[in-house]
Amino acid sequence: MEREALAGRAALVTGASRGIGREIACCLADAGATVGIVARGESTLAEVTAEIGRRGGRALPFVADVTDAAEVERAVARACEQLGGIDILVNNAGGAESHKLVGHPDELWHRMIALNLTSAYLVTKAVVQSMIGRGRGRIINVVSTAGRSGARYVAAYTAAKHGLVGLTRALAAELVGHGITVNAICPGYVDTAMTEASVASIAARTGRGVDEARRALEETSPQHRLITVAEIAALAVFLAGDAAVGINGQAIVLDGGAVMR
């Protein structure tokens, strides 16, 4: 997408300090948006801010724990003040932990729901009034194929991601009259540090070597590869633009064809 495609737009990206969120923030800035970036780590946010600046874009950092309602309210208020409102919201913050159901810790359940679902609810609720006031908006939720299908040992993560797809569809129906679209991106395994942690977990649990464990994840895709952060960012930038105005309430799978429903 050309730099002027999102010129004059203000975006807010959560979980923007690394991986998918970092790439989305950089690519939105490349397309001309001014980007507010949210994460818990001040130093990592400074690194992303500097990277976007080197690429000719503009970013503003906001430190917040997106599972904390009070911190979300403060961060969004500052973002709206400094950005002049928000046109594009990318709810990317999330994380995955696994455990079999027998003996599943309740704390893990609540942590996965808070990080992967409640955070998006809190941030969207705080942001949406700005979009309603502007008469336009794009909300993009980064989900997972776990929001479209089930898998062993990730009951909490899968439940949260299914919930986020449901939230996407409910808000798409509720907000469409205000010129706001809400969509979800559902990638398969992505070549990020989080997937590397999954590879290490598989290797430790099964006794496989790390390379073999990584190949097992790659083989979940008919293309025999991991999805790249660049692919996800390109889709996010498209959904944020004017050409995607007719796309609403969709959970778009990006996994090489493993999930076809």
Annotated active-site residue 121? The verdict is no
Q: β-strands 10-14, 34-39: how paired?
A: parallel
Beta strands in the chain (DSSP E): 10-14, 34-39, 58-63, 88-91, 137-142, 180-187, 251-254
In contact, 193 and 18? CB cutoff 8 Å? yes
Catalytic site residue from 121, 153, 157, 189: 157
The HSE-up count of residue 119 (CA atoms within 13 Å, CB side) is 30
Ordered DSSP codes for 151-217: -TTBHHHHHHHHHHHHHHHHHHHHHGGGTEEEEEEEE-SBSSHHHHHHHHHHHHHH---HHHHHHHH
For 174, residues 6+ apart whose C-beta sits below 8 A from its C-beta are none
> Where does residue 211 rank: exposed (0-12), middle (13-18), buried (19+ CB within 10 A)?
exposed
Question: Which residues are the active-site residues?
Answer: 157
